[in-house]
Structure formats: C-alpha cells, structure tokens
Amino acid sequence: MAQIPTSLVAAGGLVGGYAAARWTGKRPLGGVVLAAAGTVAAREWHRRTSPTTTALLGAAYLAAFAGSHPLAKKIGPWPAVFTAATTMSLTSYLAADRRA
C-alpha cells in the first residue's frame, strides 16, 4: 500500500483551510479542513516517527498556521499561506517522509 505523503497533507491542510474559509466566508469550515488534515498527518507521523517527533511536527503545524497570520499583514494573505505551507511541507518531509 502506498504511503500518504505527510508533507503534502500538511501543506494541503494549511492551503485548503485558508481557501475554504476565504471562499465560503465561514472561518469554522476552514478550521475543520485544517484540523482534518492535521489529524491525518499526525496519525502518519505517529506511525512513522517517535512520539517526540510527532509532537514537534504537530507543534510546527500549529505554529505555521499561527505564524501565517502576522506574516499576512506584511506580505499578503496568499503569499503568507504559501510560505507557511512550504515551510511545513519541507519540515514534514525531512522529519517523516524521507525516512519512509
């Protein structure tokens, strides 16, 4: 069975969560998308790495989400979301996907 690339799931959760909130005007829907992707990624991180690495990746996911907000004030919302998603994708790839 093919493994889920957590780097894409995490990045997709950040981009998809923002897109869902922006296009529907319903921020809670964006939160649902963000949380669903984070849950899928976390399950895979847990399966592939140590509990410590899983916790650190989960914290990085939340930090990417939170960090995109002040960054958006400086560079705009979409560039901020893509920056956060790219950073999270690279982090996830290096910590979990590359080993798989």
Q: What is the pLDDT of residues 6-51, one digit of tens each?
A: 999 999 999 999 999 999 999 999 999 999 999 999 999 999 999 9
Q: Among residues 56, 5, 66, which one has the least CA distance to residue 34?
A: 66
3-19 as b/e, with b when 16 or more CB fall inside 10 Å? ebbbbbbbbbbbbbbbe
* Entry pTM: 0.93
Strand positions, DSSP E, 25-81: none
Q: Among residues 65, 64, 32, 61, which one has the least CA distance to residue 44?
A: 61
pLDDT of residue 4: 87
Q: What percent of the chain has pLDDT over 90?
A: 93
Q: How many CB atoms lie under 10 A from the CB of residue 60?
A: 17
Residue 85 has pLDDT above 70, yes or no: yes
